[in-house]
Amino acid sequence: MILVTGAGGALGRLVAGELAGRGDVVLGSRTPRSAGERRVDFDDPGSLDFTGVDTLLLISAGYGEDDVVVARHDAAISAAEKAEVGHIVYTSLSGDGDHLPYALAHRWTERRLRRSASAWTILRNGLYAEFLADIAAPGPDGTIAAPLGEGRLAAVARADLAAVAARVVSTPQEHVGKVYELVGERALGGAELAAAIGGAYAPAALGATREAIIASGVALPYQVPMLVGTYSAVAGGFLDGSGVEGSSLRGLLGRAPQSALEVYRRAAAAAIGNVR
Ligand SMILES: NC(=O)c1ccc[n+]([C@@H]2O[C@H](COP(=O)([O-])OP(=O)(O)OC[C@H]3O[C@@H](n4cnc5c(N)ncnc54)[C@H](OP(=O)(O)O)[C@@H]3O)[C@@H](O)[C@H]2O)c1
């Protein structure tokens, strides 16, 4: 049996779609949406019974301070070990993301898996093209003010990462002990994003952006450094894919990846009510 955690999230829903129709897949979520789904909440040990699970897809639960996220992932892995789950597949962060504020919890979880009694596979996901559309969204006049500098991001369509995850959990024995880097093949910079939506690129300073994020009130305190640190890492040239040795994306997909620029264009255009 395959159990997918976080099945209510955007990535989890896409993975569930990829695995639909199989009789041996159980979806787990904090908020089950059907009788067939199981309640799985890493914050609630009582919900972590993985008896009978052969392969666990552990989708990271990265929204929180490091201690919270680490405790969640530790609880999930410990429960899997207790239930003698054969194989754990974890959605981590690409190797070039080590400067990101949220890298620590991913690397901690990778270490935890390496000393686990279960077999494991680590999917080092690049940043989503959809996430790029959030953090580099154009303003109402089409201007992108995100402080990406001259940096570029090797973004990946979330659906491609879901397809890879579904493939790996379907043939786990082929992926024992593997760490797959999954970043986009073409890195995107601010000027290119602006051209794609017919807008302009006028990057703000990091400090002004930090103040604007705080003033907007949309980010929780722990999220402010996460966002600013993401801009800083892109601007510093750390996330353009050049620091990753060999992306496994195309090979594991068995086809060309989706265009991250097109995913960005659609999401950004929709955000400003300008879908073409
Ligand atoms: N690569 C990227 O660009 C990027 C961007 C943002 C986040 N991420 C990371 O990738 C993960 C999946 O991305 P996404 O786009 O699907 O995020 P999302 O749509 O925001 O979903 C959040 C995910 O976290 C899970 N979760 C939260 N608290 C949990 C808990 N206590 N126990 C178990 N699961 C919990 C949710 O599961 P349920 O709601 O089903 O319980 C859901 O799968 C995120 O959680 C985050 O760690 C990656």
| Interval 65-113: pLDDT, tens | 999 999 999 999 999 999 999 999 999 999 999 999 999 999 999 999 9
Q: Name the more confident of 275 and 58.
A: 58
Q: Is 201 in the pocket of ligand 1 (CB under 6 A)?
A: no
Expressed in angstroms and rounded, the spacing between residue 62 Cα and the centre of ligand 1 is 6
Q: If pLDDT is split at 50, 70 and 90, which confidence band does 274 have? A: low
Expressed in angstroms and rounded, the spacing between residue 199 Cα and the centre of ligand 1 is 31
| Alpha-carbon gap, residue 183 to 257, rounded angstroms | 10
Q: Is 9 in the pocket of ligand 1 (CB under 6 A)?
A: yes
| Alpha-carbon gap, residue 234 to 100, rounded angstroms | 9
| Domains assigned to the chain | 2-271 (3.40.50.720)
| Alpha-carbon gap, residue 265 to 269, rounded angstroms | 6
Q: If pLDDT is split at 50, 70 and 90, which confidence band does 272 have? A: confident
